[in-house]
Amino acid sequence: MKKLFLISLLLSLSLSGIAQSRSVERFRQDNRPTTKLFFYKSTLKMISRIDLAAIGGSNTSDFGDMPPIADMIAGIEKVKFFLYEDDDDRNDIDQSSFKALESKVLDEGYESMMSARVEGNIMNILMKERRGKPQGFVVLVTMEEGYSIIDIEGFPDVNNILKFSQFINSNGSNMGLSEAFR
Amino acid sequence: MKKLVLTMVLGLFAVSANAQSDAISKYFDKYVDDASFMHLNFSGKMFQMIAKLEFEDEAEQKMVQESLGKIKRVQVLGKDKDVDGRKMYAEALKAIKGNEFEELMSLREDDKDIRFMIKEKNNKIHELFMVMGGDDEFGLLSIVGDGIDLNALYKLSKSIGMDGFKELEFLDKMDGN
C-alpha cells in the first residue's frame, strides 16, 4: 500500500513537473533573461481584481460590459515570461538558438497553432494538449530589440476571450494582428 | 516487407501532398521566406479549438461546429509598401492559371483588384484563394479545408473583430452560396 502511495505521489509530481515546457526551462537556465516574471494562480487572481476603471481614471461604465478577467484566466495555473534584450551582455541569443528552442518545444509534443510575421517581428503560438484538452501554451516572439518567451500552464477560457474580443471591438479598438505589434 | 515499403511510400506521398497542397506554399513559397512580407499562418488546431466554443445561439453553435472544425490551414501573405502590387497581381494569376482553380468572383475596389478562386472536388470546397493587388499593395489569402463553409468563417471573423477576412463580405450577401 505504502509503495502504491509513493508511486502515485511520484507520478503526480512528475506530471505536474511537465505541465510547462522543459525546453523553455532549460533555455532559461542556459541563457540568463534580461527580465523574468513568474505569475502563479494567486498572482493572476490578484491581477484579475484590479479595478481597471480606477487605474485609467475612466468612467466605470466603460468597463461595465467587459467580461470578468477572472473568468478568462480561471484555467491558467502558471505563467512564465522571459525577455532577452539584444544589448544585454549576459546572454548571446541569436535567431538560430531561438529557432532551435522552437524545434525542441515541438519535439516535446507541442503543436503550432498560429504564426505571424509582421514588420520583421515574428510570433509563434504552440500548444500542447492531452486527450483533446489544451494543457499549456508556449509563445515565442522575435522582436527588433530581442526575444521573449511566454510559457503558460493551463488554458484561458476561449469563450470569455471571444467576449473580450467583442468588447474591445465594440469599443472601437483594432484587434488586427498588425496593430498588436505596433 | 513489401507491405511495409508500400505503406511507407504511401505515407511519404501523403505527407508531401499535405505539405504542398495550398496555393501559397506551392506557388508563392519565395514570398513566405521574404521577411519584407507580412505572413500569418493559422493551423487546423486553432480552428478545432474555435469549433469547441459555446455559443448562446444554437444555430450559430451548429454552424461553427460543422464548418470551422473542417478548416486545416489559413494563410495570409501581404506587403503594403515598396511593392508593385499590380505587377505581382498579374504574376500571381499567371502562376496559378490552369492549376485546378476556378474563378469565383473578381472585383475592383478603390484602387485595387481582388480575385477569389476556389478549388472544388465532389462539390466540396477544398481551398479558397484570394489575390489582391493595388498600386502599392499586394496580398494573398488561402483557406484550406475539407468542405469549408466560407460564410461561417466570415461571420466568425466579423464577430471577433478580425480584419483579415473582410474581403469575404460578399459571401454574407450571397448567404454563403
Q: pLDDT digits over A41-70, tens only?
A: 888 777 777 655 555 545 555 556 666 667
CB contact under 8 Å between B161 and A175, yes or no, is: yes
Least Cα distance to A136 among A114, A113, A154 occurs for A154
Residue B13 lies in a domain: no
| CA separation for the pair B144, B71 (Å, rounded) | 6
Residue B38 has pLDDT above 80, yes or no: yes
> Which residues are CB-neighbours of B34 under 8 A, at least 6 positions away?
none
Which residues is A40 bridged to in the sheet? Answer: A78
- The answer to whether position B7 is within a domain reads no
Q: Which of B21-30, B37-46, B163-172 has the highest average model confidence (pLDDT)?
A: B37-46
Looking at the DSSP bridge assignments, the partners of residue B117 are B103, B129
Whole-structure pTM over 0.80, yes or no? no
A172 touches chain B (CB under 8 A): no
Report pLDDT for B134: 92
Between A18 and B34, the higher pLDDT residue: B34
Hey, is the C-beta of A168 within 8 angstroms of any chain B C-beta?
A: yes
Q: Which of the residue ranges A108-122, B3-17, B37-51 would you say has the lowest mean pLDDT?
A: B3-17
CB contact under 8 A, B39 and A117: yes
pLDDT number for residue A171: 60
Average pLDDT in chain A: 77
User: Taking a C-beta distance cutoff of 8 angstroms, is the pair A75, A45 a contact?
Assistant: no
Q: Which residues of chain B neighbour A174 with C-beta distances below 8 Å?
A: 161, 163
Cell numbers 499567371 correspond to: B94
CATH code of B86's domain: 3.40.1000
Interval A138-144 mean pLDDT: 93
Cell readout for A109 is 509534443
What is the domain extent for residue B28? 23-173
Output the CA–CA distances (angstroms, integers) from residue B72 to A85, B21, B43, B126, B155, in the order listed. 35, 11, 6, 10, 18
Q: Measure A63 CA to nearest chain B CA, in Å.
A: 18
Give how far the C-alpha of residue B2 lies from the chain's centroid of Cα atoms, to the nearest Å: 38
Q: What is the ipTM of this complex?
A: 0.72
Nearest of B53, B83, B20 to residue B152 by alpha carbon? B53
Q: Which amino acid is at B80?
A: D
Return the number of other C-beta atoms located less than 10 Å from residue A135's C-beta.
20
Number of domains in chain B: 1
| Interface contact flag, B42 A113, Cβ < 8 Å | yes
Residue A177 has pLDDT above 50, yes or no: no
pLDDT number for residue B27:
76
Question: Nearest by CB to A127, which of B45, B54, B159?
Answer: B45
Does A17 have pLDDT greater than 50? no
CB contact under 8 Å between B40 and A116, yes or no, is yes
